[in-house]
Amino acid sequence: MAEKTSVDAEEEYPGERLGLPETGQGSLASWRSRIAALIFDWAVSMAIAVVFFGRGVLTESDWRSWMILAVFFVQTGTGTMLFGSSVGQLLAKIAVVRLDREPLGPLRAYGRALLVCLVLPPLVIGADRRGLHDLAAGTAVINRR
């Protein structure tokens, strides 16, 4: 079996090493879709937190200031576990899948959500558009369409 040369490695597309298609359904989601989903998820979490905990979640510096993040954690973890996507990801037509194609389960879904809440893990990105949170959970974010 021949080894890959540097030219072959350059021709590789993101997700090829993971066995994902280059484009279309099942291919890696774009950064635009992922960021749009994140922004929408945060907005939904803000709205839910205001409904349940009052406007203090936006202005106070006590325990209520953490409620948007807490709602974001629960909303994204639960949505990912049950539907393979948070609300924002569903709208962006992207999904979180395990690379072994098994169900995500609560430990991976909430563990991944916790790492996203820590902010830094999603910012450390590998070659296949996978942050530390995806590497730790054994997941990838793919296109549903």
Q: Output the CA angle 145-16-137, nearest 5 degrees.
A: 75
Give the pLDDT score at 127: 79
Q: Answer yes or no: is pLDDT of 7 > 70.
A: no
Q: Return d(Cα 45, Cα 39) in angstroms, integer.
A: 10
The confidence score (pLDDT) of residue 145 equals: 86
Pick from 8-12, 33-37, 110-114, 121-125: least confident: 8-12
DSSP 8-state secondary structure symbol assigned to residue 63: G
pLDDT of 12-60, one tens digit each? 888 999 999 999 999 999 999 999 999 999 999 999 999 999 999 999 9
Handedness of CA 28, 84, 126, 41 (dihedral sign): positive
C-alpha 25, offset from chain centre: 17
Lookup: tokens for 79 = 């949505």
Q: Residue 4 above 80 pLDDT?
A: no
Tens digit of each residue's pLDDT (9 = 90 or more) over 56-105: 999 999 999 999 999 999 999 999 999 999 999 999 999 999 999 899 99
| Alpha helices by DSSP H, the chain | 6-11, 31-53, 56-59, 67-83, 87-91, 105-117, 120-123, 132-137
